Each structure stands twice: as C-alpha cells, then as structure tokens.
Amino acid sequence: MSRMGVLFRAAMAAVFVGISTHSAYAYLDPGTGSMILQVLLGGVAGLALVGRLYWHKLLVFFGARKDAEAELAEERQSEPQP
C-alpha cells in the first residue's frame, strides 16, 4: 500500500473517532497534574545533563573548538627534542 493510502486511512480513522466520541465527564486530579509536571521537568533535566556531557564533542564537531587530543599532539610536536 502506498504512503498516501496509509495517511488517508489514518486521517479518516481520526475523523471518525473524533465524530463518534461523547463527553467523558472526567477530570485530572492534582496528583495527576503533579506527576505530569514531574515527568516533564525530569525530561528537561535529563536533556540538560546529556547536553552538558556532550557539549565539548558538539563544539568540536562544528569546529568551534579544537579536539583536546589534537591540541596535545601539536604541543608535543612544538616542544624541542633533546
């Protein structure tokens, strides 16, 4: 089946489900809202940690900073040999 056919079927299923639903008369209690907030903040903290761990590699990749191993090799070459 083509990609357009799959997308069309998914869109039609979403339309029919949206038309056929009734009010659930449900609510989110404060515990649920607190848990959702905690999950979101945990995800942000996790992304910040991953970003901090890989920040130097990212700068080296984009050429904003030289690799530490390359700098050390350049320093060793520039030192006078006995």
Q: Do the domain assignments include residue 56?
A: yes
Q: Do the domain assignments include residue 46?
A: yes
Q: How high is the pLDDT of residue 49? A: 94
In whole angstroms, give the CA distance from residue 67 to residue 57: 8
Q: Do the domain assignments include residue 13?
A: no
Question: Which residue segment(s) compose the domain that 53 sits in?
Answer: 25-82
Q: Do the domain assignments include residue 73?
A: yes
pLDDT tens profile 7-40 = 899 999 988 888 877 777 778 788 988 999 999 9
Q: Do the domain assignments include residue 10?
A: no
Q: Confidence band (pLDDT; 50, 70, 90) for 82?
A: low
Structure tokens at 27: 């609510």
Q: Do the domain assignments include residue 3?
A: no
φ, ψ of residue 81 in degrees (nearest 5)? -90, 135
Report the candidate in 79, 57, 78 with the shortest Cα–Cα distance to residue 68. 57
Distances, alpha carbon 9 to alpha carbons 13, 33, 73, in Å: 6, 33, 59
